[in-house]
Amino acid sequence: MMRLLFLRLFPLLKFRISGPSMLPTYKQGDRILVCPWMRHIEMNDIIALFAPESDRVMIKRVTKKQGSLFFVEGDNKQESTDSRVFGMIGKDRVLGRVIYRFS
């Protein structure tokens, strides 16, 4: 009962990883939970964000932080489209922090 109440008050978002940009941390087909109400973002956190050019969801690691701006990169830098291409992202583009992975 308490768990159900908690999930209704604090919902989690579910995503499936597609693409190699976060290898080896996340691989194709991994499923993750994102906590949208945990919006305090620190260096090295893995976050879900809306891509700057679209509303496509991306999963990236925060590598730099300047106020409410974040520089994000994929763990597999050779295969990642990230802040090295599109620049820093604002906090308004962040969906939340990745809190759990299950394969």
Lowest model confidence (mean pLDDT) among 38-42, 46-50, 91-95: 38-42
Tens digit of pLDDT for each residue in 51-94?
Answer: 988 889 999 999 999 999 999 999 999 999 999 999 999 999 99
Does the pTM exceed 0.85? yes
Asked whether the predicted pLDDT for residue 46 surpasses 90, the reply is: yes
Q: All domains of the chain, ordered by start, with CATH?
A: 12-102 (2.10.109.10)
Q: Which of 100, 102, 84 is nearest to 33 (CA)?
A: 100
- 40-57 CB burial, b ≥16 within 10 A, e <16: ebeeebbbbbeeeeeeee
